[in-house]
Amino acid sequence: MTFSKSTLYLVASAAFFVTGTLAQAETIKVGVIATFSGPNAIWGKQFREAIDVYVAQHGDEVGGHKIQFIYKDVGGPNADASKAAAQELLVRDGVKYLAGFDFTPNAVAVAPLTKQAKVPAVIFNAATSSINKQSDFFLRTSFTLTQLAQPAAEWAAKNGSKKVVTAVSDYNPGIDAETAFSASFEKDGGAVLEKIRMPLQTNDFAPFMQRIKSSGADTVFTFLPVGPATFAFTKAYNENGLKAAGVSFLGGGETDETTLDALGDQAIGLVTAYHYSDVHDSALNKSFVAKLQELHPGSRANMASIGAYDGAELIYRMIKAAGSDGTKAIEAAKGMEWESPRGPVKMDPVSRTVVQNVYLRRVEKGADGKLVNREFATVPNVPDLGFNP
C-alpha cells in the first residue's frame, strides 16, 4: 500500500496537532495541605467544601487544562508534617500549585520548597504578616491579623472604649493582633491596661476572665485561632460575668459561624471585626451559600470557606494566565482583582495578600431563628498593614 507525499504530510500534521493539543491540555494538579483530622479538622472540612462549591460553579477546566485537587492531612499545627506533605505532593504527585495552610508554622515550613520548585503556594488562612516574606511564591487569600486589629482598634476608640485589656493566644498571629491593636488604640488616646497572652492549647479561660474582670477595663479585645478555643473563650466570657460587669467584647473569629449557634443567645450583641460573614448582603454570596447547602447540607460558610473559595479563584486565574509556569503565574497574580462573596478583593502586588473590606459585625438572631454576624459598618479596601518589605 502506497501513500502520496500529500497524504503523508496530512497524517504527520494531524499527529502533530493531536500531540500538541494533548500537551497543551495537561492536567494541572493542586496540592491542598490542611488539617482533616483531630480537634482542628474543621479547617480541612471547610477548605474542601468551599473548593467543591467553586468547582461546581466554574467547572474543572480552565485555559485548556483540567484541574485536579489533591488533599493532604497534617493533623493540626505541625511544621514537619506540612513539609513532608509538600515534598510528597511536589515529587510524587507532580503538583504545580500548593494551597491550604491553616496554621502559620505549616506555611512557613514549605517556604524553601516553594522557592526551590518555583511553585506558587496560596494561603487559605495562616494570618501572620511575615509569612509572605519567607517566599516570593506565597500568595494569601485570607487576611492578616494587623489587617483586622487596626480597624477594630480605631472603631473601639471612636465608640466609647477608653480602657482595654488585650487577651490573645501566645503565638505569632496572636502577638500580631496584640501589637497592631495596642499601637492603634493608644495612638487614638486609649489605654491598654494589660496584655494577656494565653497558651495556644488551653481551653480553660476562667483564670484569665478573672484578671480581665478585676482590671478595671471597659473592653476586652481578643484573638484566638478559630476552633475549640474560640468557642471556649466566648463561653467563658459570659459564664464569668464580664458582660454583666460592663466589659464589652471585641474580637474577630470568636463568633465563627460554625460554632455560633452552639454559643446560644448569650452571644447576642458581641462585636467582631472581620472580613466575612455568611449573611454578607450580595448576590454572589447568596449564590455561594446556597450552593454550599446544596452540596453539603447543614454546612455553614465561614472565614475558612471564603479563604479557600477565593484561593481556588486565584489558582484558576493563574492557570488561565500562565498554565503550570509558576514564575509567570506569580507575576500574573500581582494586582489581580475580582468580586468575591465577601466583597471586592485585590491581590496587593507587594505584600501578596488580598486588599479587602473589613466589617464590624454584631451577633443577632436572624429571621430563621439562627444566630448571625450582622455587618453594621465597613472599613473599605484595607491592605496588610503589618507587611514591611
Residues 255/67, Cβ–Cβ less than 8 Å: no
38: Cβ contacts below 8 Å, ≥ 6 apart: 75, 76
Look up cell 480602657; give the residue. Answer: 163
Say yes or no: do domains 23-143+281-352 and 146-274+359-382 share a fold.
yes
What distances in angstroms separate CA 321 from CA 316, 325, 334, one per listed residue?
9, 9, 12
Q: Is the pTM of this model over 0.85?
A: yes
Closest-CA residue to 300 (of 270, 285, 278, 272): 278
CATH among 3.40.50.2300, 3.10.580.10, 3.40.10.10, 3.90.850.10 for 23-143+281-352:
3.40.50.2300
Cell output for 86: 509538600
Separation between Cα atoms, residue 103 and residue 124, nearest integer Å: 10
| pLDDT at residue number 375 | 98
Separation between Cα atoms, residue 332 and residue 318, nearest integer Å: 6
**Which residues of the chain are modeled with pLDDT < 50?**
1-23
| pLDDT at residue number 25 | 66
What distances in angstroms separate CA 102 from CA 47, 98, 133, 202, one per listed residue?
9, 13, 17, 19
CATH class of segment(s) 146-274+359-382: alpha beta
| pLDDT at residue number 226 | 80
> What residue segments make up the domains of the chain, in order of their start?
23-143+281-352, 146-274+359-382
Handedness of CA 58, 62, 68, 71 (dihedral sign): negative
| pLDDT at residue number 277 | 98
| pLDDT at residue number 11 | 38
Closest-CA residue to 125 (of 97, 149, 153, 106): 106
